[in-house]
Amino acid sequence: MMKPFMKIHLSHPTRDIEIEGPKHVRDVFQELQLIPEGYLVIRGQDLVTEDELLADSDVIEIRPVISGGSERRP
Partner 1 sequence: MKCRKCPARAVLRMPRHNTAFCSVCLTEFVRSQVQKAIKSQNMFSPNDRILVAVSGGKDSLTLWEILLKLGYRADALYVDQGIGTYSQGSREKVEQFTEQIAKPCGATLTIHNVEEEEGASIPDLANLVRRPTCSTCGTIKRYQFNQAAIQGGYDVMATGHNLDDEAARLLGNVLHWQEEYLQKQSPTLPASMEGFAKKVKPLYRLTEREIAAYAVINRIDYMVEECPMSKGAKMLVYKDVLNRLEAESPGTKHTFYWQFLAKQEKAQATHGSMTETDQTTLKPCTICSQPTSTGMCSYCKMVARANAPAQ
List contacts with partner 1 (CB under 8 A). 11-12, 14, 35-40, 42, 45-52, 63-74
Beta partners for 53? 24
C-alpha span between 19 and 56 (Å, rounded): 8
Q: Are 58 and 24 in contact (CB under 8 A)?
A: no
Strands 46-47 and 59-64: unpaired
Is position 71 an interface residue for ligand SF4 (rule: CB under 6 A)? yes
Which of 13, 44, 69, 74 binds ligand SF4 (CB under 6 A)? It is 69
Distance of closest approach, residue 61 Cβ to ligand SF4, in angstroms: 23
What are the residues binding ligand SF4 (CB under 6 A)? 69, 71
